[in-house]
């Protein structure tokens, strides 16, 4: 049996952020959770303009790092409680959104973060209203029921339907100033979501439709968004792909690529999108024997002109991903981040034990993970 739960109201397109004014008013005390980069670029100011017009009062918590940890959540929660917050806005990429999701729920449920993250305590009450305003096109967090926070040197997800935002405002106008490198790694994050969802054990015709359209849009527009950042049409296509891929992976599952990226980001603080980008072709090669026909579709969706099917077509898909990495000026390995070779088998065991590895189309073993990490961290 297949089921879907997608309660988030979506507003999509240039100027979509302005619709936020219909959800907050003079009675609200809004905590905007974001990062310092968005404060400096002026994007925060565009949201503050909307809030000022609504009559709401607001405060800003902007100390979210690229890989948020439990201490970040606690600090943001303390600020939100002190402000007597009635609504939360997540402004940014996946990191501010993950922090905001948890803060919105802890405001009404109480208790400690570790109870929900490590002890499996359910959120008994809905959180304060949460509104997502993504400024990167990669995580798809605006349509996922998960928040990932680093604690105990582990990227550990918290899952609950209550983590889904009440509404999300996907506005490509907020993405035109995104630097090329960030455009590249967040776009590759979205591609990884789509490719892993397409072959995941939980995939079905609906998630396949979302994932394939996301791959097609990224193949068509990601290079353009990277090279010409103010191309609003390209930005809009990549933003739509990110949301579609996020919904697909939330419903279908992920796999070995995200499992391997977990310890790399958790221990080495490698940007999540970069880790996924480099690992994607290696994960595809590992899974090729299990799902060759699905990967063959990926080749044509990424613009590869080929009539190959089966494993030959799947190899074309891997080649297409590596070609995309080259065009986006991203590395093929992460050797620059390696701290000590002894970490590799430990990271492999952690990756194989991750929950998201269970939906990979081929069983994920420590040996398989170690073999890939050897190629990624010792190469170059």
Q: What number of residues does the chain have? A: 380
- What pLDDT is stored for residue 5 in this prediction? 77
Average pLDDT over residues 106-132: 93
Average pLDDT over residues 141-164: 89
Measured at the CA of 4, the angle between CA 13 and CA 12, to 5 degrees, comes to: 5
- What pLDDT is stored for residue 51 in this prediction? 97
- What pLDDT is stored for residue 305 in this prediction? 79
Residues 322 and 328 sit within 8 Å (Cβ to Cβ): no
- Cα-based distances in Å from 247 to 41, 211, 250: 28, 9, 5
Q: How far apart are CA 351 and CA 48, in angstroms?
A: 40
DSSP letter string, 140-159: -GGG-SEEEEEETTEEEEEE
Residue 66 predicted with pLDDT over 90? no
Q: Which secondary structure element, helix H or strand E, spans residue 293, and what is its range?
A: helix 292-301
The burial of 289, by beta-carbon neighbours within 10 Å (0-12 exposed, 13-18 middle, 19 or more buried), is given as exposed
Q: How far apart are CA 134 and CA 119, in angstroms?
A: 30
Residue 184 predicted with pLDDT over 90? yes
Q: Which two tokens stand for residue 97?
A: 């959104």
- What pLDDT is stored for residue 44 in this prediction? 95
23-32, 33-42, 122-131: lowest mean pLDDT where?
33-42
Average pLDDT over residues 40-69: 94
The pTM is what?
Answer: 0.93
Which pLDDT band holds residue 1 (cuts at 50, 70, 90)? low
Instruction: Return mean pLDDT, the chain.
Output: 94
- 253 CB-side CA count, 13 A: 18
Average pLDDT over residues 313-330: 96
Q: How far apart are CA 87 and CA 6, in angstroms?
A: 20
Average pLDDT over residues 36-62: 94
CA Rg value for the chain: 20
Question: pLDDT > 70: what percent of the chain?
Answer: 98
The burial of 25, by beta-carbon neighbours within 10 Å (0-12 exposed, 13-18 middle, 19 or more buried), is given as exposed
Residue 88 predicted with pLDDT over 90? yes
135-144, 254-263, 303-312: lowest mean pLDDT where?
303-312
Average pLDDT over residues 72-100: 96
Average pLDDT over residues 285-299: 95
Q: Which residues pair with 63 in a beta bridge?
A: 35
Which pLDDT band holds residue 183 (cuts at 50, 70, 90)? very high
Q: How far apart are CA 276 and CA 321, in angstroms?
A: 12
- What pLDDT is stored for residue 379 in this prediction? 64
Average pLDDT over residues 80-96: 95
Q: Please name each of the domains of the chain with its CATH number.
A: 9-174 (3.40.50.1970), 180-377 (1.20.1090.10)
Which pLDDT band holds residue 60 (cuts at 50, 70, 90)? very high
Residue 380 predicted with pLDDT over 60? no
Q: Which two tokens stand for residue 28?
A: 């609200």
Residues 13 and 42 sit within 8 Å (Cβ to Cβ): no
- What pLDDT is stored for residue 160 in this prediction? 93
- What pLDDT is stored for residue 208 in this prediction? 96
Residue 351 predicted with pLDDT over 80? yes
Average pLDDT over residues 34-63: 94
3-state secondary structure of 151: strand
Q: Which residues pair with 154 in a beta bridge?
A: 151
Average pLDDT over residues 261-285: 95
Closest CA to 157 of 120, 209, 195: 120
- What pLDDT is stored for residue 155 in this prediction? 77
Q: Which two tokens stand for residue 351?
A: 């990756």
Report the 3 state secondary structure along 170-238: ECHHHCCCCCHHHHHHHHHHHHHHHHHHHHCCCCCHHHHHHHHHHHHHHHHHHHHHHHCCCCHHHHHHH
């Amino acid at each position: 049996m297949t089921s879907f739960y997608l309660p988030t109201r979506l507003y999509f397109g240039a100027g979509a952020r302005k619709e936020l004014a219909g959800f907050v008013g003079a009675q609200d005390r809004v905590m905007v959770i974001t990062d310092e980069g968005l404060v400096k670029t002026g994007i925060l100011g565009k949201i503050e303009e909307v809030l000022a017009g609504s009559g709401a009062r607001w405060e800003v918590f902007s100390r979210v790092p690229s890989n948020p940890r439990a201490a970040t959540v606690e600090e943001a929660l303390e600020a939100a409680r002190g402000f007597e917050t009635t609504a939360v806005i997540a402004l940014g990429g996946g990191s501010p959104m993950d922090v905001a999701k948890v803060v919105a729920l802890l405001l009404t449920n109480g208790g400690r973060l570790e109870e929900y993250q490590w002890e499996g305590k359910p959120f008994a009450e809905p959180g304060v209203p949460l509104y997502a305003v993504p400024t990167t096109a990669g995580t798809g967090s605006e349509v996922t029921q998960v928040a990932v926070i680093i604690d105990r040197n582990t990227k550990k997800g918290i899952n609950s339907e209550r983590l889904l935002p009440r509404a999300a405002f996907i506005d490509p106008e907020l993405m035109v100033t995104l630097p090329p490198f960030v455009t590249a790694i967040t776009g590759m994050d979205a591609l990884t979501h789509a490719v892993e969802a397409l072959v995941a054990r939980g995939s079905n015709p609906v998630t396949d439709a979302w994932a394939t359209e996301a791959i097609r849009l990224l193949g068509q527009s990601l290079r353009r968004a990277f090279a010409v950042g103010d191309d609003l049409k390209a930005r809009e296509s990549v933003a739509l792909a990110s949301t579609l891929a996020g919904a697909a992976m939330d419903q279908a599952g992920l796999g070995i690529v995200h499992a391997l990226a977990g310890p790399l980001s958790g221990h080495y603080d490698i940007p999540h999108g970069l880790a996924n980008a480099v690992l994607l072709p290696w994960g595809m090669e590992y899974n090729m024997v299990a799902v060759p026909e699905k990967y063959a579709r990926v080749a044509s969706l990424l613009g590869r002109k080929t009539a190959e099917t089966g494993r030959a077509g799947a190899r074309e898909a891997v080649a297409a991903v590596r070609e995309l990495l080259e065009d986006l000026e991203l590395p093929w390995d992460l050797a620059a981040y390696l701290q000590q070779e002894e970490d590799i088998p430990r990271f492999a065991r952690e990756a194989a034990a991750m929950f998201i590895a269970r939906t990979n189309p081929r069983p994920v073993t420590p040996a398989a993970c170690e073999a890939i990490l050897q190629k990624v961290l010792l190469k170059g």
